[in-house]
Structure 1
Amino acid sequence: MTLGITFSGGPTALLELGGVRLLTDPTFDPPGDHPIGERVLVKTEDSVLTESSAGVVDAVLLSHDQHPDNLDDRGRAYLATVPLTLVTPSGAARLGGTARGLEPWEETQVGPLTVTAVPALHGPEGAERLIGEVTGFVLAGDGLPTVYVSGDNASVDLVREIAARFHVDIAVLFAGAARTPLFDGAPLTLTSANAVEAAKVLGAAKVVPLHFRGWGHFSEGPDVLRTAFETAGLTDRLMLLEPGERAEV
Structure 2
Amino acid sequence: MKSDLQLQELENKLKLNFSDKDLLKTAITHSSFANQKKKVEFNERLEFLGDSVLQLIISEHLYSRFTQKPEGYLTKIRSLIVCENSLCDIANSWELGIYMNMSKGEEITGGRNRVSILADCVEAVLAAIYLDKGIEYSKAFILNNFKTTIEKAINNEIILDYKTKLQEIFQQNGEVNICYELVKFEGPPHRRKFFVNILINDCVKGSGQGFSKKEAEQNAAKEVMESADDIRE
TM-score normalised by length of structure 2: 0.25
Q: Hey, which of these two has a bigger chunk of helix by percent?
A: 2
- The higher-RCO structure (CA 8 Å, 6+ apart) is 1
Say which structure is richer in strand.
1
Greater C-alpha radius of gyration: 2
